[in-house]
Chain A
Amino acid sequence: MKDISKSVVRKDHEEKITGSCKYVADYDSKGVLIGKLVRSKKAHGKLIGINFPKMPNGYMSVTYEDVPGINEVHIVKDDTPVFAKDSVEYIGEPVAMIIGPDEKIVNELVKETELIIDELEPVLDILKSDTVFFDYEYTKGDHVKAFKEADKVYEETFSTGYQEQAYLETQGMMAEPEEDGKILVHGSMQCVYYVHNAVKKVLGSDDFHIRQDPTGGGFGGKEAWPSIVASEVAVAAYKAKKPVRLVFDRREDLEFTSKRHPSITHYRVAVKNGRVTAMDIDVKFNAGAYTTLSAVVLQRGLICADGVYNIPNLIVKGKALKTNTVPNGAYRGFGAPQTFFPVETIMSHIAQDMGKEPLEFKREHLVKQGDMTSTSGMYHFPVPLEDMIEEVAKASGFYEKRKKYSEKQSGRYRRGIGISMHFHGAGFTGAGERDLIKAVAKLKKHKDGTVEVLAANGEIGQGLRTTFPKIVAHELGIPLDRVYYNWPDTGKVPDSGPTVASRSLMVVGELMRRLAIKLKEIWKDGEEQIVEERFREPSFVIPFNLDIFQGDAYPTYAWGVQAVEIELDTLTGLMKNLGTWASFDVGTPADYNIVMGQMEGGLLQGLGYSSMEKMDYDKNGRIRNNNFSDYLIPTSMDVPNMNVQLHVEEYPDGPYGAKGAGELPLVGVPAAYVEAVSQALGGVRINHIPFTQEDAMKEIAKKDE
């Protein structure tokens, strides 16, 4: 193990363990107005008017009319209003906010507020949606010819469900007018500058700054949504000239904030001489009512739609479609789980049809270093999948179990084991790092010799407050307690980019390393010194063109292999996880314990996504699973025996060889899970997730007949 990988006590350990850590809801309420949103109860309609009850002294309403700047939340596109003006597009859409000192009274006033809505027919089914937010298509090779010459063409449709981030801390934000006339907006978020740019447009001024508070989990759910919440409180505080706080309760958070996009994907696969020669892939994501992050989520999903395989001919089409439901957004994996599941699964199904073991068939198609990517870029670095498959197979006893369970099973309990492979493109998709983000970071050495990290990336539990200083301390050769990273404040730190896309450690962590080297060179005791570094695109990168999806979508890839073994109870459909094994290559771990925490946590979210996390809306567009007894996530008792190994393939442009880690462990799980269940069910084809106990029972009952 490299020195940098040795685990240290996390910088946020003490305050989180002792409970002294102050989240946005913990700030003293004295003089703070409580905000509550008036939300649409209709999925679609013309907003005719709002009848507010008489406001007691000290209470007021806030609507689009109070927005000093523009009533649009800047995300990727700016179609999300801060407060609905002419129409409502989903159940829960914020139409107004009521603020005042007493929460109970505010709640009463919200209840008494009447929205006059001319109801319109909502669109709830993506297959019936005629509003296409984003529509992409790209090709590779000559797919037309490949399909024409195929021996056989396989076709299958897959679907995936919602997944809710279920962070511990719900969305919360506070805006406070300061003495100098500026407004400070602080709260739970991943990306201070995303919020900054949103609030700037809404306030129409620069008289504000944004600060991240300790954030109780994000998983992508606090990438875009905080821009909306921050805009709401900023407008309210601007109007009231008083501090305003808005904290969602759990029901609101589950029902009315973004989740993983449900998807329907259709795969056509051409096979010739026992090899896959082409894929024709059609991807549909349910975007919800506004575009928010759907464009980028869809791009990532499309780019990895051919999996870890070298498929010479491709046509990949994708649409993000509007429905009158809550806008969907980022969740760990960001579009990739929705395509890795089908591509892995159809590859297994094709193998089975050809009488081959899926893993063997898949291995014949694995990409290698130097191969072309789906977007005609290149896998520039070694692809360690073969070794990783062996690691996982050995640890799990995969070959023996797979063979044993393929024989006819009898009795109440039946077993199955499955394995899947995937990658996660490290960093922002396409030319984003170079053209959009252009990360800048700084180190400030104080006179007393302590060093402060100045960057915009947020600690959301993944360990950045520890790993950034760790890199700096390591390079400077000073103790870790001499380097610190405060909660980023846009009034003080440069824009080193958002905390997304598994990019922070790889991209900004590398800036930290270079900054420390720079600082060391000029270090003078007793002086305040500042150094600055900017992102430079590695020279090997083949520039990406988003219009045609050509080039390197990512400079490098993190790799994953996972196996899941389950035991199915044929009387109840319950599936017990007997073990989950994985090998993950995230390059050099910047801290072994932190990385292992990420790997195991991500795996568990992947298992939940595959099996029990089921959320849906009814015929009116209302999400019913709005509490944790109706939306089940795994408990500690559901954590299987996990065996995770780290396979290190160093990335020369990441700090000490590190590459993206955060999202990787979730992405590949569903295919392995489903393959295991399928084997336990005697080879039944499964093409949707979550695959619940009820789904299993349906299959068992079919066999009974």
Chain B
Amino acid sequence: MVGSFIPKNKKEALDLKAKYTELIPYSGGTDLMVENRKNPSYLFLGKLNELKGIKKTDGKIEIGAETTFTEALESPIIPQMMKDALILIAAPAIRNTGTFAGNIGNGSAKADSALIEYGLDAVITVESVRGERNIPIEDFYLGRKHIDLNEDEIITKITIPDIHPDFYSYEKVGGRKALAISRIAFLGILEMESDKIKSISVSFGAVSEKIIRYKDVEKMLIGLTKEEAKAKKDEFVKAYEDRMQLTEGRVSADYRKKVTIKLLKEFLKNGGI
């Protein structure tokens, strides 16, 4: 046990993390406080201004890892689909302290902001004294509660494209209206180029060990017109039905399967497919 530290800046934070790799990065603490580990050594990052804030740079939006959900909700730059998800996280007190870093830092497939990041092909920036790595989010998540983060690294930034899709649909299914961990979360994004599907992105959160996104299945519809896509719709849906192995949790796997497929179909229908 080395004790806990409040670094003054990013450099000091990285130095400390390199020196004492057992330090646990602590952002808002909304997960860590609940975990209530015995005799922990924390590296408090939540107040580091260098790691906070939201910036727009040539077609990209950079979100400082220590940005809280409330800060993001108040930002004019954050895309609406992200806000749709953030406003349903927990309750005001948690949103005031919970951060983007913390939401992905525990590797949970139930993390609501992570689903949006999946759907948008976000890039996660992690840093250490050795330098920085930029990792596509789907590579960042390795497995259940397991992320691609070395012991001297911390998460510093999340980058998403500044896109304005023609159509998207976000749905969160919880057990109640607030303070509800997702039982199922869905994000579908449809981008058109003239009358052809430029991209379609379908992600499912909280239903499996990792967030689910099948890019090879998505390819099926890319480049097609909506009319052409309609003809492939059943095949497309079936690909998800066949492949998705959903976990049993606070709700049954069967319930999850039924709802995910219904939400997917609804997304396609409302998107004109």
A571 with B263: CB separation less than 8 A: yes
A593 part of interface (Cβ distance < 8 Å): no
B214 part of interface (Cβ distance < 8 Å): no
Q: Known contacts A572-B173, A630-B250: does B263 contact A635 (CB below 8 Å)?
A: no
A646-698 interface with B by 8 A CB criterion: 693-694, 697-698
Residues of B within 8 A of A697 (CB): 255, 258-259
Number of interface residues of A (CB under 8 A): 21
B179 with A635: CB separation less than 8 A: yes
| Closest Cβ neighbor of B179 among chain A residues | A635
A572 CA / B181 CA spacing, docked (Å): 15
Give A417 Cβ to nearest chain B Cβ, in Å: 20
Q: Known contacts A694-B252, A697-B255: does B176 contact A637 (CB below 8 Å)?
A: yes
Considering residues B175, B252, B258, which has the most beta carbons from chain A within 10 angstroms of its beta carbon? B175
17 inter-chain pairs at a CB distance below 8 angstroms, sorted by A residue, are: A570-B262, A571-B259, A572-B184, A572-B259, A572-B263, A628-B179, A629-B179, A632-B176, A632-B180, A634-B176, A635-B91, A637-B177, A638-B176, A693-B173, A694-B255, A697-B259, A701-B258
A522-576 interface with B by 8 A CB criterion: 570-574
A186 CA / B240 CA spacing, docked (Å): 60
- Extra contacts, 15 of them, besides A635-B91, A638-B178, A693-B255 (Cβ < 8 A), are A571-B171, A572-B171, A572-B184, A572-B263, A574-B173, A612-B175, A612-B176, A629-B179, A635-B178, A635-B179, A637-B176, A637-B177, A637-B178, A693-B173, A697-B255
Residues of A within 8 A of B177 (CB): 635, 637-638
A636 part of interface (Cβ distance < 8 Å): yes
| Closest Cβ neighbor of B251 among chain A residues | A694
Q: Known contacts A572-B171, A630-B250: does B178 contact A636 (CB below 8 Å)?
A: yes
B262 with A571: CB separation less than 8 A: yes
User: Hey, what's the 0/1 contact readout for A593-619 against B, CB within 8 Å counting as 1?
Assistant: 000000000000000000010000000
Give A425 Cβ to nearest chain B Cβ, in Å: 32
Residues of A within 8 A of B262 (CB): 570-572
A636 CA / B259 CA spacing, docked (Å): 26
Q: Known contacts A629-B181, A697-B258: does B176 contact A635 (CB below 8 Å)?
A: yes
A624 CA / B177 CA spacing, docked (Å): 22
Number of interface residues of B (CB under 8 A): 20
B227 part of interface (Cβ distance < 8 Å): no
Residues of A within 8 A of B263 (CB): 571-572
Residues of A within 8 A of B258 (CB): 697, 701
B interface residues (Cβ-Cβ under 8 A, vs A): 91, 171, 173, 175-181, 184, 250-252, 255, 258-259, 262-263, 266
Residues of B within 8 A of A637 (CB): 91, 176-178
Give B206 Cβ to nearest chain A Cβ, in Å: 13
A556 CA / B181 CA spacing, docked (Å): 45
Residues of A within 8 A of B250 (CB): 630
Residues of A within 8 A of B259 (CB): 571-573, 697
| Closest Cβ neighbor of A698 among chain B residues | B255
Which 8 A-B pairs rank lowest in CB-CB distance, beginning with the nearest? A637-B178, A637-B177, A571-B262, A635-B178, A632-B175, A694-B255, A572-B173, A638-B177
A636 CA / B91 CA spacing, docked (Å): 10
Residues of A within 8 A of B180 (CB): 632
Considering residues B91, B171, B179, which has the most beta carbons from chain A within 10 angstroms of its beta carbon? B179
A412 part of interface (Cβ distance < 8 Å): yes
A661 CA / B175 CA spacing, docked (Å): 30
A408 CA / B260 CA spacing, docked (Å): 26
Give A604 Cβ to nearest chain B Cβ, in Å: 12
| Closest Cβ neighbor of A576 among chain B residues | B177
User: Hey, what's the 0/1 contact readout for A177-221 against B, CB within 8 Å counting as 1?
Assistant: 000000000000000000000000000000000000000000000
Residues of B within 8 A of A412 (CB): 266
Give B200 Cβ to nearest chain A Cβ, in Å: 19
A572 CA / B173 CA spacing, docked (Å): 7
Give A51 Cβ to nearest chain B Cβ, in Å: 25
Give B64 Cβ to nearest chain A Cβ, in Å: 28
Residues of B within 8 A of A632 (CB): 175-176, 180
Residues of A within 8 A of B181 (CB): 629
Residues of B within 8 A of A574 (CB): 173
Residues of A within 8 A of B171 (CB): 571-572
Residues of A within 8 A of B184 (CB): 572
User: Hey, what's the 0/1 contact readout for A48-70 against B, CB within 8 Å counting as 1?
Assistant: 00000000000000000000000
